[in-house]
Protein backbone atom coordinates (compact mmCIF):
# COMPACT_ATOMS: atom_id res chain seq x y z
CA UNK A 1 0.00 0.00 0.00
CA UNK A 2 2.85 2.39 0.85
CA UNK A 3 4.39 1.72 -2.58
CA UNK A 4 1.13 2.56 -4.36
CA UNK A 5 0.58 5.74 -2.33
CA UNK A 6 4.14 6.96 -2.88
CA UNK A 7 4.04 6.31 -6.62
CA UNK A 8 0.75 8.21 -6.84
CA UNK A 9 2.18 11.11 -4.83
CA UNK A 10 5.42 11.15 -6.83
CA UNK A 11 3.49 11.41 -10.10
CA UNK A 12 1.98 14.70 -8.96
CA UNK A 13 5.05 16.10 -7.19
CA UNK A 14 7.82 15.28 -9.64
CA UNK A 15 7.16 18.47 -11.64
CA UNK A 16 8.26 20.58 -8.65
CA UNK A 17 11.61 18.83 -8.20
CA UNK A 18 13.60 21.22 -10.39
CA UNK A 19 12.06 24.52 -9.32
CA UNK A 20 14.28 26.96 -7.46
CA UNK A 21 11.38 28.35 -5.42
CA UNK A 22 11.36 25.26 -3.22
CA UNK A 23 15.10 25.56 -2.42
CA UNK A 24 15.82 21.88 -2.75
CA UNK A 25 12.88 20.75 -0.60
CA UNK A 26 11.61 18.26 -3.15
CA UNK A 27 15.07 16.86 -3.84
CA UNK A 28 15.47 16.10 -0.14
CA UNK A 29 11.89 14.84 0.03
CA UNK A 30 12.43 12.40 -2.85
CA UNK A 31 15.72 11.17 -1.37
CA UNK A 32 14.29 10.54 2.10
CA UNK A 33 10.98 9.03 1.03
CA UNK A 34 12.66 7.07 -1.77
CA UNK A 35 15.14 5.60 0.71
CA UNK A 36 12.25 4.66 2.98
CA UNK A 37 10.40 3.17 0.00
CA UNK A 38 13.42 0.99 -0.84
CA UNK A 39 13.57 -0.24 2.75
CA UNK A 40 9.86 -1.06 2.77
CA UNK A 41 10.14 -2.98 -0.52
CA UNK A 42 13.27 -4.80 0.70
CA UNK A 43 11.61 -5.71 4.00
CA UNK A 44 8.49 -6.93 2.23
CA UNK A 45 10.54 -9.11 -0.11
CA UNK A 46 12.49 -10.58 2.79
CA UNK A 47 9.25 -11.26 4.68
CA UNK A 48 7.81 -13.01 1.61
CA UNK A 49 10.95 -15.13 1.45
CA UNK A 50 10.63 -15.96 5.16
CA UNK A 51 6.93 -16.81 4.71
CA UNK A 52 7.90 -19.17 1.89
CA UNK A 53 10.53 -21.00 3.98
CA UNK A 54 9.79 -20.28 7.63
CA UNK A 55 12.09 -21.35 10.41
CA UNK A 56 12.66 -20.01 13.90
CA UNK A 57 16.05 -18.54 12.93
CA UNK A 58 14.72 -16.83 9.81
CA UNK A 59 11.82 -15.26 11.70
CA UNK A 60 14.19 -14.01 14.41
CA UNK A 61 16.48 -12.58 11.73
CA UNK A 62 13.78 -10.59 9.92
CA UNK A 63 12.32 -9.41 13.23
CA UNK A 64 15.72 -8.11 14.31
CA UNK A 65 16.31 -6.47 10.92
CA UNK A 66 12.89 -4.83 10.90
CA UNK A 67 13.31 -3.39 14.41
CA UNK A 68 16.84 -2.18 13.68
CA UNK A 69 15.53 -0.27 10.66
CA UNK A 70 12.68 1.10 12.79
CA UNK A 71 15.18 2.40 15.35
CA UNK A 72 17.13 4.20 12.64
CA UNK A 73 13.94 5.87 11.35
CA UNK A 74 12.79 6.78 14.88
CA UNK A 75 16.05 8.68 15.34
CA UNK A 76 16.27 10.07 11.80
CA UNK A 77 12.78 11.55 11.41
CA UNK A 78 12.96 13.90 14.43
CA UNK A 79 16.39 15.08 13.30
CA UNK A 80 15.04 15.83 9.83
CA UNK A 81 11.87 17.52 11.04
CA UNK A 82 13.53 19.53 13.82
CA UNK A 83 16.55 20.62 11.77
Q: Which residues of the chain have pLDDT under 70?
A: 23, 83
What is the number of structural domains in the chain?
A: 1
pTM confidence score: 0.65
What integer pLDDT is reported at residue 24 of this predicted model?
75
Q: Give the whole-angstrom CA distance, residue 11 versus residue 75.
A: 29
What integer pLDDT is reported at residue 57 of this predicted model?
86
**Closest among 37, 46, 43 to 7, alpha carbons compared:** 37
pLDDT tens digits, residue range 68-82?
Answer: 888 988 888 787 777
**Residue range(s) defining the domain that contains residue 60:** 2-82
Amino acid sequence: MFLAVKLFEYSGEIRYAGEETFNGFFELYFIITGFHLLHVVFGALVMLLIAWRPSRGNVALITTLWHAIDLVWIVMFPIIYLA
